[in-house]
Structure 1
């Protein structure tokens, strides 16, 4: 576990493991005729699995400021891992006769025990901290919007277990600190002999020289005070910062990117391939010939429309679609501007209107998915000319090209599909795309796919 874990969290971990052991024995007793040697192996794996799943999910790291609903979600998540471990181990051990009954009893009882136990611990801690126990005294260095917000959170949530001792700030900032105790400027605080009972110093200002910052650390270490820093730029990137090391040097990145992790890219790629093959097997195999024949009967020209679009890392690729426009149609106007499809666009054929409104024209892009140019879900790829025009007009536009483009995406299912008439509309689309990049999960992909199917059935105003 992280070095910063408190005694309270060690107690929570230990009590959870004891709960797992007790629930395991009880569940075995009510669902099996007798315990076997292999049960000890399963129990050991369940305990190890709980340790690592809670470590990965940071279950015990932020107990002081975690709301109870957040703890419930973590409990459900970790218990789900327990059910997977139990199911796999019992399957390998060929213990099918008791598997379902045992897993059902174990998971249900464990959920009830952990929920009740954590609720009781939460209430005991809340009462204990109200009486002044398990409280950490905090001093803030610097007074600004960040400081004010943190103090408000502490005051409105006494169960966090923090008490604000005072503010260290410049003399000209004294009138701005409200009802908080003023402890003087930083130099005065460092030189004073008076002993405050301080557990933590939180620095929220960047107006401190390197030499003075080093002195703060030295004095804090001498007085056994933990020092923490809230970067001023946190106000611009409140939930996206990630802290990593490059050798011995700490690096702060401004955006969370789950798909930077190789294992998640592999999971997404496997899902893309399996899903695409199922589409080809059950839908494309019979629907493709029908659409191809209808396109040929409706107008002269090729079945497919191929257009260069930008993919991951701005790499161009040929994107496949069923042709929905007349073959002589142009993507670029005479003055060189990209000619987006519009409502009642005369270039669109009669069959093309149906294909576009039903999104069936996008089906050939599953070929691009199998080729590795696209994903099932991701930011929609734009034509080359569209990218050239927009990348300098919309901030962060090219961030959407950090991952593979998708057949459908978070922006599309939230109403931003088709023609973008204004820069503001494109900015909103880009915000949704970047949110997807920062918050990707496989579950989110499933959600977007279901929303896409629902929108297609319901019909969309911008599908033209």
Structure 2
């Protein structure tokens, strides 16, 4: 709710810099046993790098309503930048002998100390706020469902450190404020001389004139109160909103997608290439010939099965799979509908049953990853006919195609893989896919990969 830089944020920054200096000295002594002039240059660059990297990542925002895991990811992100700075500077200084050992020790110790330090601070702040300290006093303008929900969150989470001073609303809106103080209508509030201790005014209604809105801003500026507005359309479009400027005009995008940013697309592409290359080197190189021979022995026909799938921006591509069905099998019925694989499907070969249940039939899609048609993680691509049938039946279905499809995905590791017998099942799959698009991170991709491997080992009910 509030993310302003305050005293606590500066304390966090100062203590983090102290930690960086202390850990640097310790890592240097453990690695070389003494300090050199170049070490102090490196230390200065690390401190400067920490300041700017944390500033860019908003690491010292007021995370009152955030879980610790969010702060933890920011720690890892900024420590990674520290390792890059250290490695590059030591390379320039031609200190190859000790550089790797120093960077490993520095990064490991720094990560451990920062995780513990920030966890302790987080717990102390939660306790302090529960006892009434570091409180922000809030006044709401307007009373509706948004207001009631925000007040409930504040009351159920005292560790957020917010206190509702009262509600400003029209008299006809006054029914039941749940025990909260009614401060009258907006005109009465603006005219009153009482000097309430208010830190934030949150406007949750659109039923306010431009002239009255200007008076609220003047009042808040004169009393150093921060004013915030919750747009009413958030009730009708509850996805993540993104605020940007187009020239001098503010724009609100209804869906926030991390992969809209070029640098994150680059990071994901590098991950895809490295991961797919490792799979080819250590797994596919020996597994492919074995599976190819078994497919040929099991039934006549090609080793690979290629099918038209929809990729990013609805562009079709040829998706590779190990053939798991009899060569005469058809994807489309005589009526023109898509013929999904079902449990005990007679089209599936004996070996194909094993390949599908173990997900090994999907392995050739790493070829698609290297070609750039797919990603390791993303919404699963559906067959052309399947997309044609479903896009008009399921709301927001085509949003899945804003990013590259994946070999595995968030919907699949949460049980929505394979056959979709009902529209409701497809709607759930789409919800998981859209959540992934809006919440993508490299850490989430790693998590999905690990969950996929775990599911492959234990076996999946819908894998047929």
TM-score (ref. length: structure 1): 0.87
RMSD of Structure 2 on Structure 1 (CA): 3.2
Pick closer, same or farther for the CA change 1:371–1:146 going to 2, 3 Å. same
CA contact (8 A) 1:90 1:96 kept: no
| Larger CA deviation: 171-180 vs 66-75 | 66-75
Cα distance in 1 between the residues matched to 2:364 and 2:374 = 11
3-state SS in 2 of match to 1:165: strand
Partner of 1:292: 292
Partner of 1:264: 264
3-state SS in 2 of match to 1:294: helix
Partner of 1:321: 321
Partner of 2:175: 175
Q: How does 1:44-443 map to 2 (within 5 A)?
A: 44-66=44-66, 71=71, 74-75=74-75, 78-79=78-79, 81-93=81-93, 94=95, 96-97=97-98, 100=101, 104=105, 108=109, 111-112=112-113, 115-116=116-117, 119=120, 123=124, 127=128, 130=131, 135-158=135-158, 160-235=160-235, 240-443=240-443
Cα distance in 2 between the residues matched to 1:286 and 1:441 = 32
TM-score (ref. length: structure 2): 0.87
3-state SS in 2 of match to 1:201: strand
3-state SS in 2 of match to 1:420: coil
Cα distance in 1 between the residues matched to 2:282 and 2:227 = 60
3-state SS in 2 of match to 1:182: coil
| Larger CA deviation: 217-226 vs 117-126 | 117-126
| Post-superposition offset of 1:418 | 1.2
Partner of 1:6: 6
CA deviation map 1:383-440 (0-9, x unaligned): 1111111111111111111111112222222222111111111111112211221222
| Post-superposition offset of 1:106 | 7.8
Tell me the matched-pair count: 462
Give unpaired runs (5+ residues) of structure 1. Answer: none
User: Segments of 4+ in structure 1 off by > 6 A?
Assistant: none
Cα distance in 1 between the residues matched to 2:41 and 2:198 = 47
Pick closer, same or farther for the CA change 1:279–1:119 going to 2, 3 Å. closer
Pick closer, same or farther for the CA change 1:183–1:438 going to 2, 3 Å. same
Pick closer, same or farther for the CA change 1:366–1:294 going to 2, 3 Å. same
Cα distance in 2 between the residues matched to 1:302 and 1:358 = 20
| Post-superposition offset of 1:458 | 2.5
Give unpaired runs (5+ residues) of structure 2. Answer: none
Cα distance in 2 between the residues matched to 1:261 and 1:6 = 29
